[in-house]
Amino acid sequence: MKVIVTGTTGYVGEGILLSCLEDGRIEKVLSVSRRSCGLSHPKLEEYLVPDFLAIRPGDEKLQGYDAVFFCLGISSVGCPEDMYRITCHDIPLLFAEAVGPKEHMSFIYLSGAGTGESNPQKWAKVKTSTEKALLDMPFKNAFGFRPAFMKPYEGQRFITGVQKTFRYFYPLMKLFGQANTIRDVENAMVRVSREGYSSPYISVKDIRKLALKQQ
């Protein structure tokens, strides 16, 4: 597979990128981010985009790929509502238009646990709307990934102090069914992109199930 990964200077995006680079099923990775991920690898190419809102449909640098792992995002905590919607709704949809949409391509949107129509919080409504819009596009497959806590990939650098602290709670969170490793998330992204899945919404439980099948 040839894949595009966005948000590679963020916690999840960097972990997904590192896992992709070590994944034998993937032959090429295009990192699309505002600044360099700082890595050098035979599989890796970078496309630096200062303004994601300026990307246009049919961007030639985004063609020829099998899947998009869209990990760009922002926390809703302390974020103005308009900025949050631009980042978590407008930009993903613009990016989807820029890469296709194509019937041979899969598009995975990193959403998050708690997303869904039953959640009345504003951030959840934004992400639910984004998921629905992507599912309506004519991609081969489109999925909203809804992980909760994610244990970082070995060698990650873009980790905040809070995220470093949370890793110690991973065993407990896993016990309660609220945690995955980023490696397992990446594996699930690759598998559903290639094989499809019974639901377009991939939960913590689904990610663990796909990881067990891989083993």
User: What's the pLDDT at 214?
Assistant: 59
Residues 145 and 197: beta-carbon distance below 8 Å:
no
Q: What is the pLDDT of residues 13-27, one digit of tens each?
A: 999 999 999 999 999
The overall pTM is greater than 0.75: yes
Q: What is the pLDDT of residues 89-129, one digit of tens each?
A: 999 999 999 998 889 999 999 999 999 989 999 999 999 99
User: What's the pLDDT at 76?
Assistant: 86
d(CA 115, CA 81): 16
User: What's the pLDDT at 213?
Assistant: 65
Spatial CB neighbours of 154, under 8 Å, sequence gap ≥ 6: 18
Query: What's the mean per-residue pLDDT of the chain?
Result: 92
- Looking at per-residue pLDDT, the higher value among 66 and 74 belongs to 66
Question: 2-214 belongs to which homologous superfamily?
Answer: NAD(P)-binding Rossmann-like Domain (3.40.50.720)
Residue 69 has pLDDT above 90, yes or no: yes
